[in-house]
Structure 1
Amino acid sequence: MGSCIICGAPADGAICDSHEQDVRFEFTGSNPNQLTPGRYYKGTVDGFAEFGVFINIGDRVTGLLHKSELDQRLDSLDWDEGDEVYVQVTGVRDNGNVDLGWSIRQSDREFRGKLIDDPEKGAILPEDADDSETDDGDDQQATTDGAGTVDPQTQRDEAEEEEDTDDAEADESESETDDAASEAESDEPARVQIETLSDRVGETVRIEGEIVGARQTSGPTVFEVRDETATVDCAAFVEAGVRAYPEAETGDLVRLDGEVELRNNELQVETEDLEKLDGDDYETVETRLEDALRAEARPDDVDLLADHESVSAVHDRIRDAAEEIRRAVMESRPVIVRHNATADGYVAGAAIERAVLPLVRDEHAKSDAEYHFFDRRPLEDGDYDMADATKDVTTMLDNRERHDEKLPLFVVVSAGSTDESRDGFELLDIYDAPRVVVDAGYPDEDVADLADVAVNPYLEGEEADDVTAGVLGTNLAAHVNDDVREGVAHLPAVSYWDETPEAYTDLASDAGYDEAHTTALREAVALEAYYQSYEDKRELITDLLFEHEKRDLAEHVSEQFSKKLQNELDTVEPNLSVRGANGVSFTVLDTEAFTHRFDFPPTGLLLDEIHRRELGAEGASDGNHVTLGVGEDEIHVRSDGRVNAREIAESASEEVGDAGISAKGTRDGAIEFLSGEREAALDAVVLAISDRL
């Protein structure tokens, strides 16, 4: 019985079950059946096929990483034969074939430890294995951070040899040694900026900045230090698995001396000395960092993408939101974009992603930083509710505990303006997690006050029925990173289902996207947004929205959209009912009885299309028309924004007090009720709407 190298708990080997996936293994066996499914292994690329990549796990075992397991396209995978990679063994088949899964961690530094998977000894430390079983050389112990830290015993032996040499030299010339020592003590390295370290590999330097992250590996402690220019990992070693400089924590300002090294093509500083700053030194560095942050984070007063009155009303708020995002990147604070899982929400979220990722790559030396410091997570129900917030809080607290990570900045897009998001924001507020809202929906009172910055034209007194979240998100992206302005200029036109302002169709046309193409993009994204609505689909959405040469992809998916939507319309149109009250006509669809509820299109998108068609029909041009989708226990309203679900629910509840009527959302929201009072609730809602129009 051993103890876990991460938590110290008793374990059958060097790692406990709960932390087995936090370390990477090196396999020394010769039979596939000796592998342990679920573990992450280091391997080498053996070859490529149309269906995936063959990876050697150890010397005699090869597995297949199928292309469906990759987080990117196979042809964009930057691997060559012989490259060291990291994969997860997902299973071993009866015939000995090994199935592999993708690992987002593609360097030693991203794991919390390294172990040997020995078929006879089990999970053991590298120093407990024979030299022949490792590939890291006799004088180094590879760590989670690629630090190549010298093995503790070797380090002690070398230190003793150096000490013996120094003693011998001292016997020969004591005065000469003393003079050299005095000179060395006074010869301090010069302070440099982190952004210059790529030109200083092999040099001993001094950096001053803030510790923005600290993680303990089975080898060194790794401090992530940010100065006014960039961020770099600094490995500090005392003893394997022992915290170096325990007094230094995330948020401290420090002065650090060390040698600049290149590990796995990534910069790292081998720490020789680290000192927490206080007094005047602390104030000097604090001022330097804050001045740089303020100057860099605040975007220039750039123009909006187009002349649009409702957007101009929130121009300052767009700049404020851009500053929050840019500052988060510079502070090594993860940015989490939570957007509605609709075409509009995806357009806005993808635009922000397009702007932020280059900034993350510029800020951090680690090649996979964009996967750690940016995430886009769709919202399945279009609100940031307690369930969403609970998931986010659980994840962020786990990351803070395990990786000493800062709390992220949450950017909630095409959602977050109504009471349905209040509880979620209040939970984030308890932990002081910063929040930005970007939305074009009609807001509930005071919900925006729960965000640090809220971008919504309605909050500025504008009747913004001609604005989409895609328009706001794209303008925000251009302020976050002006370099992407031209690359996202076509997106506002993609976000409108009808009546696209001419200014945005012109922008798209200038970028090479005609109306047919923007329509195809919108429909393709809407279809893909429906499937696995909780997944960001980063590479697929990128191909659809930004890879102009992949127009065939958008056309293909759009064709599927049109076919599925028309099939559903053919099903429901014979079953639409029409009723009227007080001069208002209602088209009513029983979604429970006459739709395929678990297939595309979703109810909201289907009702939008029905309502547009009904308004275009003869006799409905006066706009005095409402479309209702009646489900088992809710009624969805479409009225071109003229019906506020909160007001209707209040009135209908007075009419049918025992139906449990309540509202979800504001204008063109939904009315919820008890399923047993379905007909009474529908009659009360129709009456309440007709009384107000």
Structure 2
Amino acid sequence: MKQKCKYCDGKGHEIISVERCSECKGTGKSKSVDLMALSEKNLDSFLSEGSSCQRCNGKGEIVSTNKCEYCEGKGTFFYCDKCKTPIFKENVEENLCQNCKSKQSVHFLDDSCTLEEVEVGKLYHGKVNSLPPFGAFIDLNSRIRGLVHTSNIDHPLEENSNVVVLVKEIKQNGNMDLIPKKIETYNKIEVEKTLPLVKSSELEQFIGKHVRVEGEIIQIKQTAGPTIFTVSDEDGLISGAAFVRAGERAYEDILSDMVVSATGEVTERGDELQLEIMSMKKLTGDMRDAVWDRIESAIDKRSAPSETEFLVDSDILEKLRPSMKEVAKVIKKSIIKSRPIILRHHADADGMTAALAIEQAILPLINEIGGSDAEHFFYKRSPSKAPFYEMLDVVRDISFALEDYSRHGQKMPLVVLVDNGSTDEDVPAMKQAKIYDIDMVVVDHHHPDKEVDNYLKAHVNPAHSGGDFGITTGMLCTEIARMINPYVAEDIKHLPAISAVGDRSEAPEARKYIDLVSDKYSLDNLKDIALALDFSAFWLKFSSGKGIVDDIANLGNKKRHNQIVSLYCEQANDMIKSQLDACIPNVKSRELPNGAILNVLDVENFAHKFTFPPPGKTSGEVHDILVKRYGNVPIITIGYGPDFAVIRSKKLKMNIPQLVKELHEEVAGAGVSGGGHLVVGSIKFVEGKRTEVLELLAKKIGETEVES
């Protein structure tokens, strides 16, 4: 292999010194010239440019050099193909240095090799299989075995020991006569069977034939019989079965994320194709890089988001399009590479519709690429009770991911956070996820903090483009889902309208999404669906509610949809009425200095606990009644417990995340945290500081500017 000499940078010499030319004093011009001796051409050159100094050739300096002692002035090295030491091509044969040339070559047969690759008179690496009375059986690989006769054994051999043998004879029946050789040092030559390199998309054309495949290991599953390796190449997935003994792990050195080359026979297993693996090895260096680059380039093209028009006109959405496409691409790329996806969402109507939109888009793709049951291995949807990615969530996600890695050799997952993930409260969990190489993307409309971007592959938030929480996560995720899989557009286009009424959005986009589906869903229908989703989320706790939630959102059985929504709304409204009957008489109200009406409710002592609606929704329902009572007056409602407060407001220019930061700094020892939207949110604190925190909170609200 030829390379530029690193010592002289390919120049063939090294510079000793550089001095100014004493003849021309560094000008590069001659002091005198005989005009009569110049030719016509040189005379013209002299008249236009002057004459060059002959001593320095017009350079103005004298450079002293020595021939490079490493490459002997040639500027290039040839490197030995075996030991990689520098050599001179003209001094050697076959690109080998003298040391390697003098060594004998020992051939190592890959498991794909048959007798066709074995040659009489060559040396081979083998392993002693057994020692019968008449000699020793030697395995050259898992498929080729020869015999060393006792008459040729001149030193002791032990079972399972390595040995170098000379192939003396190959008989017509395939039997081989071998002679053991004592060789301390040798050149190792790896021998593979020449087989066609086939992509996953081409396997069907090679059923019953032996082929070679290259790709990345994305899953390893040990069965009661063979070990199943799932290999991803540029076109898709290849399932390979390797067998040692029943239930025993084959190729223990091969792990997930490795790039490998595997050979075997293509067979049919039911409706699917499988590679019966004969040999498999990890690729390294240039070979690995070439395969990896080929796969990544192809996957990068396949994961490009679809160029869709938004369902409604929106300047904010148009500004968010680049970041939305980036989220879509990261998700789609993970699907193509069979990387597990955990979809985390806030457990309310907005978070659930956002997650359902993404789910409807990705499940068909996951099953298309990984098989009919792939969603059970490569996808999980989990609700988050808090409106942020809390420690309980991340610990559960990491634990499940590590179990899947241990049992199935799966990669660590991509976590998709929707309707949470944008605030400082998410950072502790994100830091923990980063330790375990878990990547994350966020689609959220809570007021964002910059620090979270240090832990994300992509981030969509309307605040990044001049919008606010009125652009709901359900709207954003529905549009992203259409970029991932445009074929689900008709099935999910009603989800943004549900999220809009569920989150009480007053943005112009909310009205447009509601109008978009008004031919099928009235405003009351949408409100009922949103309430039913909130009701189901309360009872589902940490379960995804797959099936029930689909029916509620009208993504499943149409008949059951109407029945379950009607039932849940009846039960939810009864519970809300019961809760309000207990709460409203216990609301305390007073006017603040800015003219706003402050309403406070102790939900710990004057509301039903451990039932629907929970404190957050209870505070919201109380707030809605009080808004109707007071009319167009600025109003704020605080539902508080021992160590928390839920805030709802109208016609006040609130900034709850900023309030939380100020309270944290000004009330020492209270441990204030929280956040949310600008005008809707929650805070937490230590119980002993409740009075001090709430008093300061009320004071700051009284100083807040109200809307005219």
Q: Is TM-score (shorter-chain normalized) higher than 0.5?
A: yes
Counterpart contact for 1:646–1:663, Cα < 8 Å:
no
Q: 2:518 matched to 1:509?
A: yes
Given candidates 662, 670, 677, the residue that maps to 2:672 is: 662
Given candidates 470, 478, 484, the residue that maps to 2:474 is: 470
Q: 2:608 matched to 1:608?
A: no
Counterpart contact for 1:254–1:275, Cα < 8 Å:
yes
* 603-612 or 593-602: bigger deviation: 603-612
**Gaps in structure 1 of 5+ consecutive residues:** 1-161, 165-172, 179-184
Counterpart contact for 2:346–2:383, Cα < 8 Å:
yes
Match of 2:379 in 1: 374
Aligned-pair distance for 1:652? 5.1
* 296-305 or 534-543: bigger deviation: 296-305
Match of 2:411 in 1: 406
Distance 2:391 2:690 in 1: 27
Distance 2:202 2:474 in 1: 38
Q: 1:605 to 1:267 in 2, by over 3 A?
A: farther
Counterpart contact for 1:438–1:473, Cα < 8 Å:
yes
Distance 1:649 1:509 in 2: 39
Match of 1:169 in 2: none
Q: Structure 1 counterpart of 2:516, which letter? A: L
Given candidates 189, 192, 203, the residue that maps to 2:198 is: 192
* 298-307 or 370-379: bigger deviation: 298-307
Q: Structure 2 counterpart of 1:607, which letter? A: S
The C-alpha deviation readout for 1:237-268, integer Å capped at 9, x for no partner, is: 12334433334332222232323334454443
Q: Report the 3-state secondary structure (helix = DSSP H, G, I; strand = E; otherwise coil) of the residue aligned with 1:628.
A: strand
Aligned-pair distance for 1:683? 2.5
Q: 2:319 matched to 1:313?
A: yes
Distance 2:464 2:219 in 1: 37
Match of 2:265 in 1: 259
**Gaps in structure 2 of 5+ consecutive residues:** 1-142, 146-169, 176-190
Q: 2:608 matched to 1:599?
A: no
Distance 2:283 2:690 in 1: 67
Counterpart contact for 2:660–2:675, Cα < 8 Å:
no
Q: 1:451 to 1:218 in 2, by over 3 A?
A: same
Aligned-pair distance for 1:199? 6.5
Distance 2:660 2:583 in 1: 26
Distance 1:519 1:198 in 2: 51
Q: Structure 2 counterpart of 1:504, which letter? A: Y
Counterpart contact for 2:257–2:411, Cα < 8 Å:
no
Match of 1:683 in 2: 695
Q: Report the 3-state secondary structure (helix = DSSP H, G, I; strand = E; otherwise coil) of the residue aligned with 1:420.
A: helix
The residue correspondences of 1:232-381 to structure 2 (distance < 5 A) are 232-263=238-269, 265-278=271-284, 281-365=287-371, 367-381=372-386
The residue correspondences of 1:486-565 to structure 2 (distance < 5 A) are 486-497=490-501, 498=504, 499=506, 501-509=510-518, 512-545=520-553, 546-547=555-556, 548-549=558-559, 550-565=561-576
The residue correspondences of 1:561-640 to structure 2 (distance < 5 A) are 561-582=572-593, 583-619=595-631, 621-622=632-633, 624-640=634-650
The C-alpha deviation readout for 1:281-331, integer Å capped at 9, x for no partner, is: 434422321111110112133222221232222111110001110111111
The C-alpha deviation readout for 1:36-88, integer Å capped at 9, x for no partner, is: xxxxxxxxxxxxxxxxxxxxxxxxxxxxxxxxxxxxxxxxxxxxxxxxxxxxx
Q: Report the 3-state secondary structure (helix = DSSP H, G, I; strand = E; otherwise coil) of the residue aligned with 1:192.
A: coil
Distance 2:201 2:577 in 1: 55
Distance 1:647 1:350 in 2: 32
Q: 1:673 to 1:174 in 2, by over 3 A?
A: closer
Match of 1:40 in 2: none
Counterpart contact for 2:443–2:477, Cα < 8 Å:
yes
Given candidates 366, 388, 394, the residue that maps to 1:383 is: 388
The C-alpha deviation readout for 1:493-520, integer Å capped at 9, x for no partner, is: 000233472320132235x333333222
Distance 2:196 2:664 in 1: 73
Given candidates 399, 409, 434, the residue that maps to 1:429 is: 434
Distance 2:248 2:675 in 1: 52
Aligned-pair distance for 1:557? 2.0
Aligned-pair distance for 1:212? 1.3
Distance 1:205 1:191 in 2: 6
Q: Bigger radius of gyration, 1 or 2?
A: 2
Q: 1:287 to 1:682 in 2, by over 3 A?
A: closer
Q: 1:386 to 1:673 in 2, by over 3 A?
A: closer
Q: 2:687 matched to 1:672?
A: no
Counterpart contact for 1:491–1:508, Cα < 8 Å:
no
Aligned-pair distance for 1:671? 3.1
User: Superposition RMSD on alpha carbons, in Å?
Assistant: 2.9
Aligned-pair distance for 1:443? 1.7
Q: 1:568 to 1:195 in 2, by over 3 A?
A: farther
Match of 1:442 in 2: 447
Match of 2:25 in 1: none
* 606-615 or 485-494: bigger deviation: 606-615
Aligned-pair distance for 1:591? 0.5
Distance 1:234 1:470 in 2: 40
Distance 2:250 2:664 in 1: 64
The residue correspondences of 1:198-209 to structure 2 (distance < 5 A) are 201-209=207-215
Match of 2:121 in 1: none
Aligned-pair distance for 1:448? 3.0
Aligned-pair distance for 1:573? 1.8
Distance 1:492 1:260 in 2: 47
Counterpart contact for 1:230–1:330, Cα < 8 Å:
yes
